[in-house]
């Protein structure tokens, strides 16, 4: 039995995971702090690249995986995916049957979750085949491990607007326990889930000049 697990900030990885779950005709499960350890044979795990790294909230999930095999899919915004899949493959116990980077829009540029489904054709074949495959090693910027969450925090500001009703949804959905009714704290990794899921559009983000410059390049 196969199941598709995903972690997503602004919904891009969720869109890829939904597609895979449909194509593979499997369950789709979000990775949260309370997601039970998978009991299926194959876990397909979809997550985004954050600052050329694996998002911190899914590291405990990856380390606890004890399925027979796993497939790793990382979405990224077209800048650089670093060496994320190789690092994730090293982190997990199960044999990796497929691994692929999928380019989608960049969250910080307000781009959509659109991706090319044909990028997943080979992955789906490999998942169905179930043979172990080595995750490709790729180049990573030497500065990528230099306080990634801190770099996002100084590059992206989140502002609460007057339309906030203190409904608590952002507090409940934040993967880092980093926001209280629209006010983020220093644990925030700027995944922007709160911004995209606020039912009242009461959170907006802005980029610092240095982040704008970096993204433009």
Ligand X SMILES: Cc1cc2nc3c(=O)[nH]c(=O)nc-3n(C[C@H](O)[C@H](O)[C@H](O)COP(=O)(O)O)c2cc1C
Question: Which residues of the chain form contacts with ligand X (CB under 6 A)?
Answer: 8-13, 48-52, 75-81, 104-108, 152, 189-192
Q: Is 65 in the site for ligand SF4 (CB under 6 A)?
A: no
C-alpha dist (Å) from residue 56 to 47, 145, 191? 11, 12, 11
CB of 168 to ligand SF4, least distance (A): 5
Q: What is the DSSP letter of 37?
A: P
3-state DSSP assignment of residue 48: strand
Within 156-207, residue ranges assigned H as helices are 169-173, 193-197
Using the minimum distance from each CB to ligand SF4, give the nearer residue, 46 or 179: 179
Q: Is 184 in the site for ligand SF4 (CB under 6 A)?
A: yes
For residues 120 and 126, what is the distance between their CA atoms, to the nearest angstrom?
A: 10
What is the footprint of ligand SF4 within residues 137-166 (CB under 6 A)? 160, 164-166
* Only segment of 77-85, 87-95, 126-134, 184-192 that touches ligand SF4 (CB under 6 A): 184-192
Q: What is the end-to-end Cα distance of the chain in Å, rounded?
A: 43
C-alpha dist (Å) from residue 191 to 40, 51, 131? 28, 11, 33
Q: Is 190 in the site for ligand SF4 (CB under 6 A)?
A: yes
CB of 13 to ligand SF4, least distance (A): 14
Q: Is 202 in the site for ligand SF4 (CB under 6 A)?
A: yes
Using the minimum distance from each CB to ligand SF4, give the nearer residue, 48 or 182: 182
């Amino acid at each position: 039995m196969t199941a598709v697990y995903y972690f997503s900030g602004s919904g891009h990885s969720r869109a890829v995971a939904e597609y895979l779950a449909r194509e593979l005709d499997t369950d789709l499960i979000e990775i949260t702090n309370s997601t039970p350890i998978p009991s299926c044979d194959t876990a397909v795990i979809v997550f985004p690249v954050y600052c050329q790294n694996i998002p911190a909230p899914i590291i405990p999930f990856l380390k606890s995986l004890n399925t027979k095999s796993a497939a790793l899919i990382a979405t990224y915004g077209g800048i650089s995916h670093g060496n994320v899949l190789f690092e994730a493959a090293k982190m997990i116990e199960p044999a990796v049957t497929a691994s692929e980077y999928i380019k989608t829009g960049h969250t910080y540029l307000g781009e959509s979750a659109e991706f090319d489904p044909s990028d997943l054709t080979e992955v789906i074949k490999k998942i169905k085949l179930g043979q172990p495959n080595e995750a490709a090693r790729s180049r990573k910027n030497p500065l990528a491990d230099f306080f990634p969450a801190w770099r996002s925090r100084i590059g992206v500001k989140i502002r609460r607007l007057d339309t906030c009703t203190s409904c608590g949804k952002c507090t409940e959905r934040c993967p880092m326990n980093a926001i209280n009714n629209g006010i983020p704290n220093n644990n925030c990794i700027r995944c922007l889930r709160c911004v995209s899921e606020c039912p009242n559009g009461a959170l907006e983000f802005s980029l610092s000049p240095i982040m704008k410059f970096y993204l433009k390049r």
